[in-house]
Chain A
Amino acid sequence: MKKYGVVGWYFFAIAVLFVTWWFISMIVRLPIVPSPVLVFQTLLAVFIKSIAIHSLYSLWRIAAGLVIAVFVGFPLGVLMGYFPSTDRFLAPIVYLTYPVPKIALLPILMLLCGVGEASKIIMIFLIIVFQVIIAVRDGIRIIPKETYYPLYSLGASFKEIFFEVLWPASLPKFITAIRVALATAISVLFFTETFGTQYGMGYFIMDAWLRVNYLEMYSGIMVLSFIGLILFAVIDIVEKYACQWQYK
């Protein structure tokens, strides 16, 4: 019953948003604000034909950047959180590079790695990796020392301490960091896809705009938003499942 209620409210929110959009389109009556009904018709007509391949390219770039960021960021966060000596050495490097707006590095990345896939994936990676490092490090730092004591006195190895304490304790912060970073990553992905590629949602949206095909442009925006929504939902489900002890 409760679950049905939550889903119900989501449908209600979707309805409110679309009705608002429809009203605005009725009032302004400009081609740049088309009615949602027309946009949906276009979306259904062109999705398989032209949007699907672009959305797959975008998803692949996000996934690749995310996976590399997790594989690099998680171990670094663990080392910095668990071993103060590592933190003393690495924290200044992380703190000095974290506030640099990564998107400003795009021109450099494109010169170094070309305008192809590599520079786009590295961009996503750079945006996510810092959030992961800092969240995991802080998640491990706040573990009370006493939590380790029974394991130390049992003679647990580092591997056992990792799986019994470090991994489960940092998981909630780690997942939250990914959720926050992904929102930025999607915006940046859009921007990078307007350069040097024929594929990706960014390319599709900008191309439709240049062709003054506003209905296709809106279809692209809808799909890109939907990709974001799906990613958020997946992260939420993973978190509910993996961190269920937090909700008891």
Chain B
Amino acid sequence: MIEALDLTVRYRSQNEIHVALKNVSLTVPTGMICAVIGPSGCGKSTLLKVFAGIIHKYEGKVSIDGEPVTPAKQKIGFIPQNYGLLPWRNVEENIFLGLKIKNTKRKTERNALLAIMHQLGIDGLERRYPGELSGGQQQRVSLARTFLLKPDVLLMDEPFSALDAITREEMQDVFFALWQQYEVTTVLVTHYVEEALYLGQKIVILSANPGHIDAIVDNPLFGSGDIRRKPEFFKMGLELRNLIKRSWNQS
């Protein structure tokens, strides 16, 4: 479970204090995907960085499974927008990075690595460097790294936004299949309504100036198979869009 209570984040830029998030309270129950959607500058990446233990200076309470966020103790899987692969490490070393830092790499993990690479359709790429891979392949490597770690929580910052539309839908399916297998508590930041609707059990709408939660919507369509082409999906998408427009125009 991920919990934020009255979270406020300020940062200083050129002697001005900027409020990135104001009084944000959010609970993501264990084993749920929460999609966070908002305009640029609404602090959605900031929220994720607080959960990931990258930002330490904040007011309010933030906890993972009841404990304060401590990256050294908890297993936090974080996938940034650019996939976060190290260009000087090959695919195998990149996937093993999480286990290496957590000191849990064992000989048997090699089989787990090959299995997850096979599942993600990137077998045979172990010796390649990230620069030699397509965006979709890099994304798969990043997912393999994160899921091999078996994280307590998974945090993704617009993970599919740099991909073309077709690859994006494919990667959403790949991710969803993996997620169903591990059922890890996930916060997914996105600016695509369809992505939030397809992957989010709970959809959080953020607004800017300062970043705050406008609405939390429970998504009835979540997990009902291939829904992207169904009329309910379009209808719900339209409703969500209107809700978002209203709240973003107000702020």
Contacts and interface: CB of A to CB of B under 8 A. Distances in A.
The answer to whether A and B interact is yes
B88 A150 contact: no
Interface string B153-177: 0010000000000000000000000
Interface in A180-210: none
Interface stretch (B28-36, B67-75, B218-226): B67-75
Interface string A162-178: 00110011010000000
B98 interface: yes
Interface string B88-129: 111000000110011000000000000000000000000011
Given A156-B101, A165-B86, A168-B86, A149 B129 contact: no
Interface in A115-166: 144, 146-147, 149-156, 160, 164-165
Contact of A154 (B71, B86, B89, B90): B71
B72 A150 contact: no
A146 B132 CA distance: 20
B215 interface: no
Contacts of A153: 52-54, 71, 76-78, 155
Contacts of B76: 153-155
Interface residues of B, number: 33
Contacts of B88: 168-169, 171, 243, 245
Interface secondary structure of A, over-half rule: helix
A150 B98 CA distance: 9
Contacts of A164: 86, 89, 97
A88 interface: no
A82 to B, nearest CB: 16
Contacts of B145: 150
Contacts of B60: none
A49 interface: no
Contact of B129 (A155, A160, A171, A245): A245
A3 interface: no
Contacts of B73: 155
Interface of B: 49, 52-54, 70-74, 76-82, 84, 86-90, 97-98, 101-102, 128-129, 131-132, 145, 149, 155
